[in-house]
Structure formats: C-alpha cells, structure tokens
Amino acid sequence: MVALTRFGGYASEVVTPAEKVYPLPEGWTFEQGAAFPVTFLTAWVSLVAMARVRAGDRVLVHGVTGGVGTAAVQIARARGARVAGTCGGPVKVDAAKAMGVECAINYRTRHVAAAVSEWAPGGVDVVLESRGGKALRRSLSLLRPTGRVVSYGFSAMAPGRKKNLLHLAEGVVPMLWMSPMKLVDRNIGFFGVNILKLWDQEDLLSEAIRDLGKGIASHGYLPVVDRSFPLDRAGEAHRYLHDHRNIGKVVLVVDHERWAGADPADDSGAGT
C-alpha cells in the first residue's frame, strides 16, 4: 500500500486515515511507492492546479533532477508542454536529457538566464521554483506576459551544516521587493504551494490522485528513486541530499535487510 502522512513518516509504524491509503501500483517496489506521494502531489498541484499547464507551454523546472523535478518533467510532458531544467553537473544534465528535458542547463557552467532566453526568446510560460531568495526574483524575470512562477520551497534560505543568520537574511531580503503592483505591471503571476497545508482538502487531493493514477496507466508515471537508506541511517540520507548527490528521490526504508527484496504484492511491510 501507499499512504500519505502529514508528519511522523520517519517511523516503523504510522497511523494515518484510511482515505489517505492507496493500493501500490502493480509492479512497483515499496521504495517507489514511498517516493511517489509527496513528489508527484507537489508537482501536480504546482503544474496542474496552480499553473494550469497546457500543451505547447514552455516550462522551466529548477532542480530538474530532484524528486519533485523528475515528477514535474513527467507531468508537464504528459500534458504536451516543452520542458527545460536546471541542474548541477554533466551527469545530471545527461539524466535530465534522458527524461525528455529539451534544454538541460548545468548552472555551474552556463548562464541560466542566457540559456533560457535562447530556448524561449519571448520568455517561459511556467517556472517551477524551489529555492527562494535571489533565485525567485530571477525566475520572475524569465516569464513572458501571462507567465506564472510556482514556488514550493526556499532551499536557498536553508542553513548549511551550521546555523547562519546572515545566510538566512540574504535569502529573505531579496524577496521583500515583491509586490502585487509589480506583478500587475508585467502581467505575470506568482503562486505558492505547501502540500502539507492541503492535508484537509479532500476534493483536491482526490482529484490529484485520480489524475495521477491515470498518468501511471497511460503515461507510465514512475518515481525516480536514487537511493534508499535504512531508517537508522536517516542522518546519512540527509547529508547525501545536502551535498546534492541525488538524481531523483532518496527513500528511508524500515528494516532494509528484510524488505530490500520483498515482493510488492506482499503488503505486510513498506518503505517509509
């Protein structure tokens, strides 16, 4: 089974409402089931419910090889959109291209705005943004008239391995300039997504799950699992993420030795 939990997912046993539990798609591993809900729901709400992505739209996904990014590519392409994405390093660029990303930009070696302008001279229709700070401001500048930025995170404001208030301030200050008047003046939109705050929106979540189920059947939606860690090595998993080493989702697994080779048809245990 696949289940949604609002909090408390780092556990060997979790209680969640029955309506938040769904069958594991046929042929999927428990790790794939665990990697699916948050990533695909975040991408679906951002692209479908908020940005209303349509066929022919040009969509820019920052962090395109992350968990949400890999889900967003699949959803956007299934809706007929063209996709560009940013990522760090040649290995990730190759992975993005293999997923169908038209314009994969290594932000460590290329000027992102220039690369995007070359791909979409008039600006892009949608930007999926997870960084905040100065990056959010730059994303808004890449939009064409009627374009939309959807922000679902503020990773640029997160501290490193030690708390740094100056770093936090550098992330907050560039966003203070944003105002409705500037959005109106440019005919652009800004949306924010916090999937945890939608926990009680049963109609929306049910619609999302139904649509994603159709996507699994007709478009082959599949979460990209980079690596799984036993639950007792959660700290190592977070360091792996912090170092931006993943392509896709990192999953924590309960009793890794027991469940690593488990039959997906046996629902007696699952990844976390």
Task: Dump pLDDT digits (tens) for 160-201.
Answer: 556 555 555 555 555 556 778 889 999 999 999 999 999 999
Beta bridge partners of 85: 61, 104
Q: pTM of the predicted model, to two decimals?
A: 0.87
DSSP code, position 258: H
Pairing of strands 225-230, 249-253: parallel
Q: Are 46 and 128 in contact (CB under 8 A)?
A: yes
- Give the least confident one: 181-185, 204-208, 260-264: 260-264
Q: Which domains does the chain have, with CATH numbers?
A: 2-259 (3.90.180.10)
Q: pLDDT tens, 103-155?
A: 999 999 999 999 999 999 999 999 999 988 788 889 999 999 999 999 998 76
Give CA–CA dist 111/153, Å, rounded. 22
**Helical residues (DSSP H) of 23-111, grouped into ranges:** 30-44, 67-78, 90-98
